[in-house]
Structure 1
């Protein structure tokens, strides 16, 4: 791991239980890399704000805005903004806590 670049923690869970079970690992990584970017589902944003350290950088995946019932160009716009922010993190390390993709 490049010590100059903080890792990105991917936490795209669909389920509250998985979110709660994964929190100890997220907190442990944040102890050693407080500038890491935590990527998580927008549904868990308020909960994350309560349990993660205040200085934690988060990026929320706009799952509700990406629903199939939304207009195509609206979904594309939200996805594009998310990907620009994600790619802007510029890191060599991504830790995927669930091994699934954002869908």
Structure 2
């Protein structure tokens, strides 16, 4: 993975950071990485199936930090309710996505 796209830190733990990545510009495939030690080490998080393009953005709910959303550049939406340990693809697909916001 060579193309970082988005980054977000947990609002309740700034040492836990999520990074979205793609294989190229704009990217055919992508992933989400997580660091629990402020970026010293990273783990690749499992997404259900293969994304249709780079994972472009990730957003963490300030009110419920275990609730997260991520989106691929070409409209796949993912949700995690356990701080990124597991993800599910949402049924709704959109056109191009460049950002998402969680409140």
* Larger Rg over CA atoms: 1
TM-score normalised by the chain length of structure 1? 0.24
**Greater RCO structure (CA 8 Å; 6+ sep):** 1
Structure with the higher fraction of residues in helix conformation: 1
